[in-house]
């Protein structure tokens, strides 16, 4: 894991030793450019995700590709940037592994994980996940199925995630969470977990948010 940050921060006693991670290392092929830096009602998508995590987490970091616009934006916002380990398969679990190692290093007990491209997530998402996780893990679930990118992981899961990624493997994220006995937290509205994958998606979400104002 490679970490870019200024200056080193540690978790104190506040907020139960929980830190947050925005997963933003994807290549955004369908979007055409890095969607984490795309503007939504005057604010980058990355910032929407960071602000939501900050309501529940003592510190927030960003999992991003080296040299990316997302990395530059995160550093501008004084956020730690975590890179996937060289040679590991691309995917969410590689980011989770980097996040858990960082969480351990800053003295946290658990890591809350969020996608960078789902600005409609419920306001009480992480509050409910943290409560359900207790000392373990939790993930969101809707009528459409599991939402493993919206989850809480105990730092003690680091060896399990590391072993799962050995040899270039990348098993489904939900399978690792199930193996940890993660609590499933039900949310009624699948649309709240919709990812922005195209410019049309971004425009649709902007219209919905603007209407709600």
CATH of the domain at 98: 3.90.550.10
What pLDDT digit, counting tens, does each position of 145-190 carry?
A: 999 999 999 999 999 999 999 999 999 999 999 999 999 999 999 9
What pLDDT digit, counting tens, does each position of 123-145 carry?
A: 999 999 999 999 999 999 999 99
Residue 195: domain span: 2-212
What is the CA 67 to chain-centroid distance, rounded? 19
Strand partners, 184: 139
Joined together, the tokens standing for residue 181 give 């006995």
What is the CA 187 to chain-centroid distance, rounded? 18
The model's pTM: 0.90
Number of domains in the chain: 1
Q: Which residues does 42 contact at the CB level (< 8 Å), separation at least 6?
A: none
């Amino acid at each position: 894991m490679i970490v870019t940050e200024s200056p080193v921060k540690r978790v104190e006693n506040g907020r139960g030793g929980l830190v947050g991670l925005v997963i933003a290392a994807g290549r955004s092929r369908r979007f055409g450019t890095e969607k984490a830096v795309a503007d939504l009602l005057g604010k980058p998508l990355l910032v929407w995700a960071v602000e939501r995590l900050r309501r529940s987490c003592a510190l927030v970091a960003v999992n991003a590709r080296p040299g990316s616009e997302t990395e530059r934006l995160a550093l501008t916002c004084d956020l730690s940037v975590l890179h996937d380990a060289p040679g590991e398969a691309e995917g969410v679990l590689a980011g989770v592994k980097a996040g858990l190692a960082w969480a351990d290093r800053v003295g946290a007990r658990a890591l809350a994980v969020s996608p960078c491209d789902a600005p409609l997530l419920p306001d009480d998402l992480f509050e409910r996940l943290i409560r359900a996780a207790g000392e373990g893990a939790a993930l969101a679930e809707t009528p459409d199925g599991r939402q493993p990118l919206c989850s809480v992981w105990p730092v003690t899961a680091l060896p399990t995630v590391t072993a799962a990624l050995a040899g270039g493997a990348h098993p489904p994220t939900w399978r690792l969470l199930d193996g940890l006995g993660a609590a499933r937290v039900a949310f009624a509205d699948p649309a709240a977990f919709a990812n922005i994958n195209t410019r049309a998606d971004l425009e649709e979400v902007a219209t919905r948010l603007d209407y709600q104002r």
